[in-house]
Amino acid sequence: MNPLPITEDDLNGFVDGTLTPERRAEVSTYLDAHPHIARRIAVYGEQRDMLRDAFAPVMDEPVPTELDLSRMIAERRLPRQAPRWAIAAAAVLLLSVGAAGGWSLRDMRPPTSEGVQALAREAAASYATYVPDQVRPVEIRASDRDVLAAWTAKRIGRPIGIPDLTAAGYRLMGGRVVPTEHGPAALFMFDDDRGTRLVMLARPMKADPALPMSPHAEGALNGFAWADDGLGYSLIGAVAPDRLHPLADELRRQIRSEA
């Protein structure tokens, strides 16, 4: 009998460790045959671990009365609009269910040579990994902007400004923390609601704390990268350089004004 097809639920269950041993073996065989999907699933596991680490203090707190299951059953209905903090706490509980899996960044060490060109390559790699993802391109959505800012600051070790490109026609979709060869980086994704997505990648630049903006290109992707005050930034997308450059200038202006 042919095995059942592998679904997104199976892939998520593989990350969370909730599959039966037989199904997990089938998914593992599938991932061995599809390395591009295996890379995506490995990143999902790493992001899950980082979320658990970021929200560990919340997990030690007692469950709010608004989330008490017996009370919810007794009331036999959910409130029309739950408070934002309650939604965040519920998300933490759900994300923390299951066994730990995925990659670990504990042994990651930055190489000796850093620069905007390395940052540009990392931005292109992150773009190729997350922009085509129609299921979960970002880990924390724009509606939880404060949570996203706090999480990225914790993982990067300092605050990372989240720019606003609404005036240019691009809305913030959200972001995540991604691994790079130089350590964790903050990724913010923008969309013009016509299918064009932009990615801004930011991480510490220990060797080059301040560098002028420079263009870079990889295939159909164009980008601009620079460094200010010890942080490197790269804006990248499948957009013509003459359209992307003003957006990069605006990002840099906003980031500098918040410093």
pLDDT tens per residue, range 219-249 = 899 999 999 999 999 999 999 999 999 999 9
pTM: 0.57
Return phi, psi of residue 215, to 5°.
Answer: -80, 155
CATH superfamily, with its number, for domain 80-258: MucB/RseB, C-terminal domain (3.30.200.100)
Average pLDDT rounded to a whole number, residues 81-98: 50
Average pLDDT rounded to a whole number, residues 30-53: 81
Alpha carbons 145 and 113: distance in angstroms, whole number: 33
| Mean of all residue pLDDT scores within the chain | 80
- Report yes or no: 207 and 114 within 8 Å, Cβ to Cβ: yes
Is the confidence at residue 202, as pLDDT, over 50? yes
Question: What's the pLDDT score for residue 194?
Answer: 86
Per-residue pLDDT tens digits for 103-136: 333 333 333 335 788 899 999 999 999 998 888 8
- pLDDT bin (cut points 50, 70, 90) of residue 68 is low
Question: What's the pLDDT score for residue 253?
Answer: 94
Per-residue pLDDT tens digits for 166-183: 999 999 999 999 988 888
Question: What's the pLDDT score for residue 173?
Answer: 94
Question: What's the pLDDT score for residue 104?
Answer: 36
Cα distances from 170 to residues 111, 195, 218, in angstroms, run 34, 11, 22
Question: What's the pLDDT score for residue 109?
Answer: 35
CB atoms within 10 A of CB 54: 20
Alpha carbons 220 and 196: distance in angstroms, whole number: 13
The lowest-confidence range among 57-71, 110-124, 143-157, 244-258 is 57-71
